[in-house]
Amino acid sequence: MKTPCVALTLCVALTAHGTEKEALREELEALKARIAQLEKKLNDDGQPDMVEEELDEVRTAYEADQALEPETQSVSQDRIDVGGAVRFQYSFEDYVPANRDRAGDLDLDTIRINFDGRIADVLLSAELRYYQYMEVVHHAWVGYQFDKHWQGQVGITKVPFGVLPYNSHNFFFDTGYYVGLEDDYDAGAKLLYENGPWDIRLAFFKNDELGGVDGYVSDRSDRYSYDIVGERGPAEGAFAAPSRRLGEGNTIVGRLAHTWENTDGDSTELGLSLLRGEIYDVDGSAGDYRAGAVHINGNYGRWNLQLQAARYEYDLDTGAERLAVGAYAFFDTIPAEAELYTANLAYNLPVDWGPVTDLTFYSDNSLLTGKSAGLDDTTMNILGVAVAAGGLYTYFDLVSAENQPFIGGTLGANSGERNTRFNVNVGYYF
């Protein structure tokens, strides 16, 4: 017979265990409901990529909680979901006379295929993209959910920097994308921690997604993410192949964010990001680089506000003030150092217009200033609306910019002209 003290202790323990078990079941039900909402939102709401990313995170949390509940431990969670998208694009560019004469052009933009899921306890996410001019791996990683708060990823995974998942609402991102500070993917390992209002992400990237300076690829410009690929000599053109090859390596990244919420469901995220890495040529070390950013990402009713200030610097042993980058099957040029400021505002409006269920209006603004080599500022404003209609998601963007890639300019030269592009990107997501 147990003593009263032991019996009381056992009773308290059993009560606590029952309470924890009930709380776990309630959390499972809440996560299950959120998954259903997000699956519906893929067809009814804006930014399909953003919804897919949150859906993946909620599914992962749900599976982690299931693993903690005894009744579900024997149930197999093996599943790989296959999805993708097909996108077409119309563009009218006032800086290309032939395009103006034709009243614009319509082209195939992207065909992509996605794989997301888990086998046993191993998570998987990968995306392949086909363009008319290249085929690339967008990302490819395997991971493990240690518990409901901690997750690890290894492979080609997103660099955790600034506003996530995107510091923009439009099709072209913000200017930070073109210097590798938005939606960048590299090869390495990442650790994610989420608990209540706290979001902490730590990562180590061995090199870029193409294997670094001596990766086994035929063309180092065939990539989705912008990365350093070479030094730009004084006499080299902005779009020429670099005479000296360079690559990023051994990069450490940290991102800390805290979110405040009120009873109305409004939220404000304040975050800090820091990055530091090495630069290598084919013979060894060639310098280092660093970047930092502070950001605010606020959701207030139907409004979304994104504010970010960032600075980056590449310090090469030669003192070069311009660097070559590669992406989308061509080389371009960026300043070795600069400051970046972005201010974006969006308004989401649910509608019931036949198949159209959602409109997102936005004004995204970027300024790249304080450039090395005496380069002029880059400015960009994008006014647009994103339209959701079933599996179709369409961006209507009016872009006005100076010294901006894909808008008649480059970050690494002075054009002295402000250009305009009207762009319509139609995508079917499945």
Instruction: Read off the pLDDT of each residue in 47-71 and give the average, rounded to a whole number.
Output: 61
| Strand boundaries in 120-261, DSSP class E | 122-130, 135-145, 150-158, 185-195, 198-208, 227-231, 244-245, 247-261
CATH 3.40.1440.10 fits 83-429, yes or no: no
Q: What is the pLDDT of residues 201-237, one digit of tens each?
A: 999 999 999 999 998 998 999 999 999 999 998 889 9
Is the pLDDT confidence value at 135 over 50? yes
Question: How would residue 262 be classed by pLDDT, with cut points 50, 70 and 90?
Answer: very high
Q: What is the pLDDT of residues 21-35, one digit of tens each?
A: 455 555 666 666 667
What are the boundaries of each domain within the chain?
1-77, 83-429
pTM to 2 decimals?
A: 0.83
Quick one: pLDDT at residue 28? 62
279 in Cβ contact with 290 (< 8 Å): no
Instruction: Read off the pLDDT of each residue in 166-175 and give the average, rounded to a whole number.
Output: 98
Quick one: pLDDT at residue 21? 45
Q: What is the pLDDT of residues 278-318, one digit of tens each?
A: 999 999 999 999 999 999 999 999 999 999 999 999 999 99
Quick one: pLDDT at residue 4? 38
3-state secondary structure of 29: helix
Q: Which of residues 112 and 3 earns the better pLDDT score?
A: 112
**Rounded-to-5 percentages of helix, strand, coil across the chain:** 20, 55, 30
Question: How would residue 45 be classed by pLDDT, with cut points 50, 70 and 90?
Answer: low
Instruction: Read off the pLDDT of each residue in 5-22 and give the average, rounded to a whole number.
Output: 37
CA atoms in the 13 A half-sphere facing the CB of 248: 33
